[in-house]
Amino acid sequence: MFIQPTLLLLDEPTNHLDMEAVIWLEDYLSKWNNILLLISHSQDFLNNVTTHTIHFTNRRKLDTYDGNYDQFVKTKSEKEENQTKQYNWEQDQIKSMKEYIARFGHGTAKNAKQAQSKQKVLDK
C-alpha cells in the first residue's frame, strides 16, 4: 500500500483480518482514487467501499450498476421484475394472436388477411 498503483485487484481482502484491520482497510479503500476491482462476500464491506458493481450473469455477460452493494441488489431486483412483467405481457400478446388466428384464420377475406398478418408477427 506504499505505492499508488493505477489498478488494485483484491480477492476477499477481509479474510483473516481482525475488526480493527477491516475498519482500517475500509477507510483506506473508501478514499482510493484509482481503479479498484474487489471480490468479497462481506456485504457491509462492499457497501462501505464500492461505488459501482459489475455483475457476471449466467449468460456470461457483464452488467454494471452504479452505487454500492445494496443499490445493486435493489436495481437488479427491479430489472428482473420488469423483465418478468415484459415476458408475461409478451406471452399474453402471443396467446391473443394465436386465439385470433384460430378463430378467424378461415373466415372472411378481411379476417383471414388479419390472421395471416398476425401469424407473420408470431413467426418472427
Residue 101: domain span: 80-123
Tell whether 23 and 70 lie within a shared domain.
Answer: yes
- Return d(Cα 103, Cα 112) in angstroms, integer: 9
Q: What is the pLDDT of residues 46-86, one digit of tens each?
A: 999 999 999 998 888 999 999 999 999 999 999 999 999 99
Average pLDDT over residues 9-33: 95
Both 103 and 55 in a single domain? no
Q: Does one domain contain both 28 and 70?
A: yes
Same domain, 64 and 90: no
At 97, is the pLDDT very low, low, confident or very high (cuts 50, 70, 90)? confident
User: pTM score, two decimals?
Assistant: 0.71
Same domain, yes or no, for 71 and 84?
A: no
Whether residues 70 and 89 share a domain: the answer is no
For residue 6, which phi and psi values (nearest 5 degrees)?
Answer: -70, -35
Task: Tell me if 2 is assigned to some domain.
Answer: no
Q: Is residue 11 included in any domain, yes or no? A: yes
Same domain, 20 and 54: yes
